[in-house]
Amino acid sequence: MRHFNILTFLLFTLIIFSCKKEEFLEEVEEDTYYVNPNTGEDDTDTTSDTIIFGDTTTHTIDYIPDSLILGYEWTLIDGRVYVENLDKGYKNVYNYFDDTTDIASMSLFDPSIVSMDEIQKGVTTWYFSNDTFLLNNQTIYDLEYGYNPFNDLILRPHGFAGGTSRPTIVVEADETHMKVSVRESYNSDNVYNYNYVSELIFQRENVTPTIDTSFIAGYDFNGRWIYTDPDPSSTLSGTKWVITRYNNGLSGNTYPNDTLHFFSYTEYTINGGVPRPYTISNVVGNNMKSLSLYSLTTLGGDYSGQILSTFMSDGEINNTEFHDVFNVNNRVTMWIERIQ
């Protein structure tokens, strides 16, 4: 009778543990904080843990001590982005850099106000201490770090614009280099929906690393990432406009005559000044476009408004309300005229 009770207890415990483990893994897989695109290389270390990236690829992760990462300066030497078209099922991987380009943004479809998203090969540097993150030897942010249930080292700089954080998974590291997975995002180009995640490779303090640069299985290499607007009939790229008038309801009409030059799909200048980001996208449920102008010094901030979808052929945006992105109570009516 005693043996029966012991066996029954052990069987019951095993069933409960298995159920709890399955339930826990389901919760983890729903949290993108644990997504980790590794190289897909064969690893015979049976003590390592495995996780799933996307739907089909299993990766083997070795424990990486934080002492390999903290207290060293890391210089960016390569980068790529894995992009999945969720509507069509296409999976492509793109390089961020090539022989002609050493600057990129990890925000693929929209401008980002997070400084960590803007990267430059051979120039971008990261430095992690116990509780701070130093970006490009210039700006200090708060840092939390630790290990998830798969023993992946997670670095979490936070305190960026808008209270944003950038959880970063250390995929691979030794005394010469570090490979990380960062900024997994879901976004749209106004036609298709996408899931994408960046993989960056850093060199540690001027040592020569040996790095595996293979791609995740199931992704097709497609050159360097170049954003192409899927709706060129409404793109602002290559056009110039003048803010002829605005009214904030307090001081009456102001006539700044500031020239906005939209020289790319994501950036513009004011009166030939420094580049600054903008976005334009469809508004769901009506025949309007949403235009956001960041660092708009004409109004002294970041402003967004809904404009007619015919604005390009009309050549003007008249009597249109724009609001402060971070304080919607600040509203301004603007008149903008196309000159090129």
Please check whether residues 192 and 259 belong to one and the same domain. Answer: no
CA atoms within 13 A on the CB side of 321: 6
Cβ(199)–Cβ(82) below 8 Å: yes
Of the pLDDT bands very low, low, confident and very high (cuts 50, 70, 90), residue 44 is very low
**Average per-residue pLDDT for the chain:** 79
> Could you tell me which residues come within 8 angstroms of residue 222 by beta carbon, excluding any fewer than 6 positions away?
92, 93, 94
**Residue 231 — pLDDT band, cuts 50, 70, 90?**
low
Residues 42 and 6 grouped into a single domain: no
- Residue 232: predicted pLDDT: 60
Q: Which residues make beta-bridge pairs with 200? A: 79, 180
Is 266 found in the same domain as 181? no
Query: Does residue 161 sit in the same domain as residue 303?
Result: no
DSSP letter string, 109-151: SS----GGGEEETTT-EEEE-SSEEEETTTEEEEEEEEE-TT-
- Output phi, psi for 274, to 5 deg: -75, 150
pLDDT band at 13 (very low <50, low <70, confident <90, very high): very low
Same domain, 58 and 169: yes
Same domain, 73 and 58: yes
If one counts the domains in the chain, the total is 3
- Confidence band, pLDDT 50/70/90 cuts, at residue 46: very low
Higher per-residue pLDDT: 124 or 265: 124
CA-closest candidate to residue 280, choices 301, 302, 259, 309: 309
- 124 and 109 in a single domain? The answer is yes
Query: 268-277: long-range contacts (C-beta < 8 A, 24 or more apart)?
Result: 268/236, 268/293, 270/296, 270/297, 270/298, 273/297, 277/110, 277/111, 277/112, 277/113
What is the rounded CA–CA span in Å between residue 221 and residue 103?
19
Last residue of a domain, which of 197, 224, 251? 224
In terms of domains, do 138 and 14 share one? no
Residue 285, pLDDT score:
67
**pLDDT category, 40, cuts 50, 70, 90?**
very low
Between CA 305 and CA 291 the distance in angstroms is 6
> What is the mean predicted confidence (pLDDT) over 206-231?
80
**CATH number for position 281:** 2.40.128
pLDDT for the residue numbered 273: 92
Q: Is the separation of the CB atoms in 332 and 233 below 8 Å?
A: no
pLDDT given at position 190 = 67
Mean pLDDT of 71-92: 94
Q: Indicate whether 11 and 146 sit together in one domain.
A: no
The residue-averaged pLDDT of 229-245 equals 80
Encode pLDDT of 146-168 as tens digits: 998 888 999 999 998 778 899 99
**Model confidence over 245-294: pLDDT tens digits?**
999 888 789 999 999 999 887 789 999 999 888 888 777 667 788 888 99
**Could you say which of 166, 191, 224 is where a domain stops?**
224
What's the domain range around 45?
Answer: 37-224
Taking residues 72-87, report their average pLDDT. Answer: 94
Instruction: Please report the pLDDT score of residue 73 as a whole number.
Output: 96
pLDDT at 187: 83
Q: What is the pLDDT of residue 30?
A: 30
- 126 & 249 share domain: no
Q: What are phi and psi of 247, to 5 degrees?
A: -145, 120
98 lies in the same domain as 148:
yes
User: What pLDDT, on a 0 to 100 scale, did the predictor assign at position 39?
Assistant: 33
Confidence class for position 12, pLDDT limits 50, 70, 90: very low
Query: 224, 245, 266: which is the final residue of a domain?
Result: 224
Tell me: do 66 and 140 sit in the same domain.
Answer: yes
CB atoms within 10 A of CB 32: 12
| pLDDT tens digits, 289-310 | 888 899 999 999 999 999 998 8
